[in-house]
Structure 1
Amino acid sequence: MFYSFLVMNFRSKFLLVMNLILPIIFMLMFGAVFGKQSGAYKVAYYSDRDINIESGNWVKIDKPSDVESIKALKFDIVILAEKGKIDVYYLSSMAQSERDVLLFRTKYSSAQNQSSVIEIKAHNLELERQLSDLEYIMIGVIAVSLLSVGLNAGVSIFSKYVRYGLFKRFMVTKVKPAHLLFSSVGAQLITGIISSFIILILSRLVFGVNLFVKLHDIPLYIAVVFASVMINLSIGVLLSLFFKKAAESISSLIYTIFIFFSGVYFPITIIPKSLRIISYFTPPRYVHMMFQKLYGVNSMDNVLFFVLIIGFSFFGLLLGSYAIKKFLKPTA
């Protein structure tokens, strides 16, 4: 049954377009607009030797007076080299700097035939991550793809499939509600992971934006994907319960509203003040914030982060369980 739900997500042309192709189109479209803004992290460096690094993300600076001055700099990495010693300050949790430190060390060691480097010392400051516009957009694409996966699953399973008599067939086979629930939920989770992973790969290949999480953050990433799919699935379930035949049309309208008013493709500050309140009722807004938190941005505190994961997951499972039991119940 799990396999059937999963295959349907990729066999249905509508679901394939909404869950995968449309988010990719959004990624390419918005990425082309913001593509000139580099998604790479920025490195500042000071050296007491005459070296020059010609790269768009490297900037030569004067020597900072203290650590507070370093923190005030708008860079992901700050490298200070003096008297054969190199201090590397990490100001971003996303910076992958081994190659850059090696490049700097090579240039510093070979400058003016000076002595080799005596010591390299790392200082992990890890201040709040500042997303570039391109990174913000790519995370928004993931949030919208998960909106589509969950919302369309809820409507398809509990509106379209009900009309096609699928649940009547399930009643004949006496399938257990829990088995049906976890099969459908599992299929949507896998679909969400596949969709988001494809976007991560394409954003890296096409725009050079590295949003792959570290290995130890993968369980949290999956938890955020699961919670995102569940809260959006619950909306689809509610539409199916209240509007039945009109659920598909209304879900398309809600999908459009969520895209424009959630602020996942652009900050809500550009939305008229009278309409900004709408964003607080759109799940993609909070999904985007959870992903930001996962990527090192201080978008919310840890308590709210886990409350949203647990709350969204529980709400989706609760409504899904209720709807399955309702439609599997024989009519009098």
Structure 2
Amino acid sequence: MSEFLALFSAMWKESWRDKISTFFSIAFPVMFLLIFGFLFGGSGNSVKTAVVTVDYDLSDFGDVYTSLEELKGYYHEVAVVEKERIIFIRNTTDEYYQSLLDSWEISLKNKVTRLLNGLNPVIMVKKEVLKTARELTSFDYTLTGVIAVSLLSIGLFGTVDVFSRYRERGFLKRLKATPVGNFSFVFGLISARMFYGILSTALIMLLGTLIFKASYELNVFLFLISVVSSVLSFIALGALISILFKKSDVATDAAVILFTIMMFLTGVYFPVSFLPDYLRVVSYFLPVKYGVELIRYSLGFEIFPFSRYLITAVIMFLAGLMFVFYTASLVLRKED
């Protein structure tokens, strides 16, 4: 136990001394949170619209009035429906609302056209609202993405730095001459990174709550499982890079490139569905995609069967654990 605590303490202190790892694990995610939070913190609100008409039932397209004088409150856009034309009065220049209002205009035009021509819709669509924990806004999406990025950097850069730099400086060779076993060394590294990840996510969530009034449907147990499974799979990824690239500088550069790619191909800041088909296929092989899904599920932002969550978490945990110890044994064996 004392051996583990000594290794844990050493790895914990090493995490804070490493400037690159600390920047990408703490400063970089917080910086992104502040930038995206202030830019898009108010996004996600629906547009407020009104229709002025006396001839048609258009109540499903906003508040309905019979004259412009009856309009009350603020509306992003008002549509005045006359017999042969529709006059749209847009009352906002916010770019976020433009595409939403464009869609609203098209829908309203199509319905009025059908009413004028006496056409009934061939297919009747019945809308039912799914019962979810809460509505996912653009800021919620960004917040969970920032958490995933923080965990990725903790596992990826921390492991690359430890294995590559320790090997380059001959520390791993000296480690073989001590009574510290491979298991204790790797377990100490994993434990320190896990604790680092929990601290980082707590800081990000606290800032999101204090500055941007974010709220969570937090399941603490599932959230801890998500963090542990994600960090473990990211540590395994960092260990793999340490094997592929011998020099610490090259390994760090490779980690930065992979980190950047995964930020944009795994649904961290925008849905994977936005990607072209060939890039979407690539995202299925990247662990960050599944890590961010677990985090969103545990915060009540993602809805899918619990069995899917459980299977994903177990696979990430077991695969990450086995791969970490396997790659670590290869790195340490080469130092014999």
**Shift of the alpha carbon at 1:211?**
2.8
- Aligned pair partner of 1:33 in 33, 39, 50: 39
**Shift of the alpha carbon at 1:164?**
1.4
Look up the match of 2:24.
Answer: 18
C-alpha change, 1:330 and 1:159, in structure 2 (3 Å) is closer
Q: Structure 1 residue 228 and structure 2 residue 230: aligned? A: yes
C-alpha change, 1:273 and 1:319, in structure 2 (3 Å) is closer
What amino acid does structure 2 have at the position aligned with 1:223? I
C-alpha change, 1:141 and 1:275, in structure 2 (3 Å) is same
**Shift of the alpha carbon at 1:285?**
1.4
C-alpha change, 1:27 and 1:171, in structure 2 (3 Å) is same
In structure 1, stretches of 5+ residues that fail to align are 40-53, 55-70, 75-90, 94-128
In structure 1, what is the Cα distance between the partners aligned to 2:220 and 2:37?
Answer: 25
Quick check: 2:239–2:328 contact (8 Å CA) kept in 1? Answer: no
In structure 1, what is the Cα distance between the partners aligned to 2:267 and 2:328?
Answer: 33
RMSD: 2.3
Look up the match of 2:14.
Answer: 8
User: Any idea what the Cα deviations from partners look like across 1:166-199, whole Å, max 9, x if unmatched?
Assistant: 2112111121122112111000000000110000
**Shift of the alpha carbon at 1:153?**
2.1
Look up the match of 2:258.
Answer: 254
Q: Structure 1 residue 176 and structure 2 residue 181: aligned? A: yes
What amino acid does structure 2 have at the position aligned with 1:8? E
Aligned length: 248
Look up the match of 1:78.
Answer: none
Quick check: 2:172–2:335 contact (8 Å CA) kept in 1? Answer: no
C-alpha change, 1:330 and 1:256, in structure 2 (3 Å) is closer
C-alpha change, 1:31 and 1:176, in structure 2 (3 Å) is same
Larger radius of gyration: 2
Look up the match of 1:79.
Answer: none
Q: Percent of pairs identical after alignment?
A: 30
Quick check: 1:200–1:212 contact (8 Å CA) kept in 2? Answer: no
What amino acid does structure 2 have at the position aligned with 1:225? V
Look up the match of 2:167.
Answer: 162
- Aligned pair partner of 1:135 in 129, 132, 140: 140
What amino acid does structure 1 have at the position aligned with 2:246? K
- Aligned pair partner of 1:244 in 231, 243, 246: 246
**Shift of the alpha carbon at 1:13?**
1.3
Quick check: 2:217–2:300 contact (8 Å CA) kept in 1? Answer: no
In structure 1, what is the Cα distance between the partners aligned to 2:202 and 2:142?
Answer: 15
Superposition TM-score, scaled by structure 1 size: 0.69
C-alpha change, 1:30 and 1:197, in structure 2 (3 Å) is same
Superposition TM-score, scaled by structure 2 size: 0.68
**Shift of the alpha carbon at 1:323?**
3.1
In structure 2, stretches of 5+ residues that fail to align are 1-6, 46-72, 74-126
Look up the match of 1:208.
Answer: 213
- Aligned pair partner of 1:147 in 134, 140, 152: 152
**Shift of the alpha carbon at 1:330?**
7.1
Tell me which moved more, 317-326 or 238-247: 317-326
Quick check: 1:23–1:141 contact (8 Å CA) kept in 2? Answer: yes
C-alpha change, 1:297 and 1:35, in structure 2 (3 Å) is closer
User: Any idea what the Cα deviations from partners look like across 1:249-271, whole Å, max 9, x if unmatched?
Assistant: 11110000000111211122333
In structure 1, what is the Cα distance between the partners aligned to 2:333 and 2:289?
Answer: 36
Quick check: 2:236–2:323 contact (8 Å CA) kept in 1? Answer: yes
Quick check: 1:237–1:323 contact (8 Å CA) kept in 2? Answer: yes
Quick check: 2:173–2:335 contact (8 Å CA) kept in 1? Answer: no
What amino acid does structure 1 have at the position aligned with 2:193? Q
Quick check: 1:268–1:276 contact (8 Å CA) kept in 2? Answer: yes
Quick check: 1:189–1:229 contact (8 Å CA) kept in 2? Answer: yes
In structure 1, what is the Cα distance between the partners aligned to 2:211 and 2:177?
Answer: 50
C-alpha change, 1:269 and 1:163, in structure 2 (3 Å) is same
**Shift of the alpha carbon at 1:212?**
6.3
Quick check: 2:140–2:301 contact (8 Å CA) kept in 1? Answer: no
**Shift of the alpha carbon at 1:72?**
4.0
In structure 2, what is the Cα distance between the partners aligned to 1:72 and 1:293?
Answer: 22
